[in-house]
Each structure stands twice: as structure tokens, then as C-alpha cells.
Amino acid sequence: MSMIDDGREQWAASVNEVTIGATSEDGGTRGSAVTIGGAKALPFIPSEGQAPRKPVVAMEVFDCEPPADWPAPLLEALGDVVKSPAEWAKACVEQFGAEMICLTLVGTHPDSENRSADEAAATVKAVLEAVDVPLVIWGCDNDEKDNEVLPKCSQAAAGEKCLFGTVKEDNYKTLVASCLADGHAIVGLSPIDINIAKQVNILVSEMGFPLDRIVMYQTTGALGYGIEYTYSIQERGRVAALSGDKMMALPVICMVGQEAWRAKESKATNEEQPGWGDEKTRGVFWEITTATALLQAGSDILVMRHPEAVKALRDHIDTLTA
């Protein structure tokens, strides 16, 4: 990094661009592809460098109905479509404005419905048929089950250039091999720790996986739950990328809705916390505020849950990039 005479910072490098989704021209069935990354400066400072790609707003869809502890305002906003992953995805795209779908395979977890790899692959195919936007396909966070399920899902979506998650420092070889063979991108998961995030990227790339198909996920906190620490680490990662560290020069995904809606401030009912404000809007604001903070830290894909939060975030991005 160097300083220009008028005080502006000038960066030495840029963030890699990663393309997710394959159109018919690329052998897939997506109506359009999404390219993220490419930033040559810290977020939303156009005088210091170009950010050729807008951040992308995705919505999360489960492979089964949401658990009973989901807040009522969130379930009401989504409606009956949550009974079918394909219909849920379709509503997210056609009604709520999602640019991508993140299909989370929670139903495969042994402590949930313990669905099989074949069932998961069938759900992936159903969602691919229901919508033509690019897909993120996220495991259940049980290493043994994910190593069984995700390769099947990778095969089911071969040629579609999906983004698969996640690989981590002690569990990466199975999914990396599958995504390498089937042409997908991959999410590297780490705690909020730059050294571990970098190590995951090194391990994945040493298997011959190209850096322009890797996206980072440094687990995030929600508003009120470590958001400032998350922000500072994510920003440090982006500074390292712009300063020339090739193993940190990767786009970032954040699971915003997942984090925001687990906070007690977003879930508590009016009866439980009468002084906290209306429960119908409180959780939405919690999700929006979490997202806007992570947007300023350099997030490239933000995975949301509430339709109103999606609309507000997209409007905010349009304002910042106008």
C-alpha cells in the first residue's frame, strides 16, 4: 500500500474474481452466472480503486421444514413455501429478489432427519429445476455425514458451477476432490482467525484446486454478538489481500440470516421482552444491521433469511454503488 499526494491510499493488488453458475453457453442450465470479487480497494471508496462487482444477496433455503424454534415473524413472512425446498427457492427468487439460493442440507444431519445422500441429491436436482439462479450448496456441519452426502450432491449438480460448503483445516480432501472433478467452486471455513483461514486456502490449493474457485467463510457473529471483532478480522483479511497476499485474495461469503436470527434479541416475543420493541420488525432490523456491517467489512455474498431484510439490503447496496 502507498499513499497518493492527496491522502488517498493506493493498493498493490486486488481480490480474485470467482464465477458461480453455468449458463447454457458453459454447459449448464442457469439463466445467468454471478461473478464476485475483483475489488481493488476497501469497500465503497471509489476514489481509491474500483470495485467492479456488486455484493450479491442470496437467500437461505432448507432441505426440510424449518425447526420449531424459528421465530414466528420469520415463518409468517416466508409462508407455506417452507414445506417444499423447490417452492421455497422459487419464492425467494421470483417474489423476494434473491440473486442466488443457498440450499442448506440440515435434514441430512444425524440429529435432525438423517436424510440419505440420495435424498439430498434429489433435493439439489429439484431446486436446480425450480430456479435458474446459481446455487450455494451447504452441508449439515457434521463431517462424517457431509463427506457422504456432498460428493453425491456434487455429482447431481455437475456442470452447474455451484458453490459448495464447507471445507476446513481438518476435513477438506473429500469435498475438494469432488468439486475438482465436477467443476464447482468451494467455501473454505475457518474460525475468525486469519492464520487458519490462510492455512485452509493453502491446503485446498495444494490439491490442485484453483484459487479462482475458492470463497472464504470466516465464521461471523451477529449484531451484539461479536460483530465488531468479526468486522475487524474480516477487514484485516481484505487489507492483506489488497497488499498482495495471494492466499487471502479471495472473496468472502457471510451467513447473515443464520447468525442474526439465533440472537435472543431477534427471537424474543413481545410477551417475553415487552420493552424491546415490536417482534415483527425487531428481527428484521437485527438482520439488516448485521448485513450492513459485514458489507462494509468486505463481504461479497450475504446469505439472508427475511424477505424484508433482503429488499432493504439490496436497496442499500444500490445506494452505496450508485
Give me the tens of pLDDT residue by residue for the chain, a chain 322 residues long: 554 545 578 899 999 999 999 999 999 999 999 999 999 999 999 888 877 899 999 999 999 999 988 999 999 999 999 999 999 999 999 999 999 999 999 999 999 999 999 999 999 999 999 999 999 999 999 999 999 999 999 999 999 999 999 999 999 999 999 999 999 999 999 988 899 999 999 999 999 999 999 999 988 888 877 888 889 999 999 999 999 999 999 999 999 999 999 999 999 999 999 999 999 999 999 999 999 999 999 999 999 999 999 999 999 999 999 8
Distance between CA atoms of 53 and 180, rounded to whole angstroms? 25
pLDDT, one tens digit per residue, over 61-92 is: 999 999 988 999 999 999 999 999 999 999 99
In this predicted structure, what is the pLDDT of residue 52? 86
Start-to-end C-alpha separation, the chain: 26
**Cis peptide preceding 166, ω within 30 of 0:** yes
What's 46's DSSP letter? T
Residue 3 confidence (pLDDT): 47
User: Which of helix, strand or coil describes residue 26?
Assistant: helix
pLDDT at position 50, please? Answer: 76
For 2, 178, 242, the CA distances from 255, given in Å and listed in that order, are 33, 23, 23
pTM metric for this prediction = 0.95
Q: What is the pLDDT of residue 1?
A: 54
Q: Return the bridge partners of 242, or none.
A: none
pLDDT of residue 7: 56
DSSP string over 148-199: HHHHHHHHHTTTS--EEEEEBTTB-HHHHHHHHHHT-EEEEEE-S-HHHHHH
Q: What is the CATH number of domain 2-320?
A: 3.20.20.20
**Structural domain boundaries in the chain:** 2-320
